[in-house]
A = this chain, B = another copy of it.
């Protein structure tokens, strides 16, 4: 146990924080030594702090039940206890950005679920299968900001994984994509807790999620972008148009995608073969949270479906189906991923594993 890396969760009582706590329980590399939250929870035992609002499908892990919750703003306390924190705080953007910088300045590696730093030009937004190389910016990030050991890495918005993995697999195989029209059917848990009112979701869908379309259109371009002078430059070759809907599903975001290639379109069998063979750095490195197959293509005509496919690969696999020609662009397909695992806490833990595996931390 002594050899595990010590980590913390800041914003540990919210829904994303609970997911971190759940997924880190029994993790082979990381050990939770610190949980922090707002002053309201600070000082309480974790089980008391989440009493009546523990939303995970399993009970609170034994090892954290009695742990005293720290104050999220007590950065030095965190720095004494752990070398990396997962940030899941829910405050206004400015406050989150500043708090995460304080952690980094105190020497703590920050892997964030929050959108506050996604547009910061020297902060990488990472999906480990797609742009692990973006971590190369970290030394410059530290140097510019005068940080010794700390740094900030961010996980992208939870709406894009179900199409960015299949699209990246095609790019990596030499088939650049020029445009995507994406309509998402997004799960309730993406809005945190309590999220939408049951009265609004029963017998209904809502064709709007605040800020979601903008994030879905810009973040992929940063992930596919390049580093110039220690700063990220958005990819210009791809245009994305997103329609984001909220539907009455607990977990699992679905994306209906039409895409166009920059050059000639590959054959349908080629696309399937590319997806089925797709493996990337996390698989090569054998990172603990990576599924053996990051992409699974299902042949059934009516898949993927949230209830049947969201838990594939422990929630870390993106399930794809219904590849067919598009009458307007080149191809259509449907992608699905578990938004609170692959799209949130699980995706961040995979980043942390990548960081550790590459020697960026501890």
Interface residue tally for chain A (C-beta within 8 Å) = 59
Is A328 a contact of B247 with CB atoms below 8 Å? no
Residue from B193, B208, B241, B247 within 8 A of A199 (CB atoms): B193
Is B249 a contact of A204 with CB atoms below 8 Å? yes
Chain A residues 170 to 190 lying within 8 A of chain B, measured CB to CB, are 179-181, 183, 185, 188-189
Minimal beta-carbon separation of A209 from chain B (angstroms)? 9
Instruction: Say yes or no for A306: interface residue by CB 8 A criterion.
Output: yes
Is B203 a contact of A326 with CB atoms below 8 Å? no
Is A334 a contact of B250 with CB atoms below 8 Å? no
Residue from B180, B206, B217, B305 within 8 A of A204 (CB atoms): B305
Residue from B179, B302, B326 within 8 A of A207 (CB atoms): B302
Is A197 a contact of B199 with CB atoms below 8 Å? no
CA distance A260 to B179 in the complex (A): 14
Instruction: Say yes or no for A1: interface residue by CB 8 A criterion.
Output: no
Residue from B179, B248, B258 within 8 A of A198 (CB atoms): B248
Minimal beta-carbon separation of A123 from chain B (angstroms)? 24
CA distance A302 to B211 in the complex (A): 12
Instruction: Say yes or no for A321: interface residue by CB 8 A criterion.
Output: yes
Minimal beta-carbon separation of A79 from chain B (angstroms)? 34
Instruction: Say yes or no for A264: interface residue by CB 8 A criterion.
Output: no
Q: Whose C-beta in chain B lies nearest to the C-beta of A304?
A: B207
Is B321 a contact of A207 with CB atoms below 8 Å? yes
Is A185 a contact of B240 with CB atoms below 8 Å? no
Instruction: Say yes or no for A98: interface residue by CB 8 A criterion.
Output: no
CA distance A329 to B327 in the complex (A): 13
Asked whether A258 and B181 contact (CB < 8 A) given A57-B311, A197-B194, A327-B240, the answer is yes
Chain A residues 303 to 362 lying within 8 A of chain B, measured CB to CB, are 303-308, 311, 321-322, 326-329, 332, 334
Residue from B189, B205, B217 within 8 A of A305 (CB atoms): B205
Instruction: Say yes or no for A196: interface residue by CB 8 A criterion.
Output: yes
Contacts of A260 in B (CB 8 A): 328
Asked whether A326 and B202 contact (CB < 8 A) given A243-B256, A308-B57, the answer is no
Q: 16 additional contacts, CB 8 Å, given A180-B328, A203-B249, A245-B254? A: A57-B311, A179-B327, A181-B328, A185-B205, A193-B199, A195-B197, A201-B202, A202-B202, A204-B308, A206-B305, A207-B254, A207-B321, A241-B326, A241-B327, A247-B247, A328-B329
Q: Which 6 A-B pairs have the closest CB atoms?
A: A194-B197, A183-B183, A243-B256, A198-B201, A208-B302, A241-B327
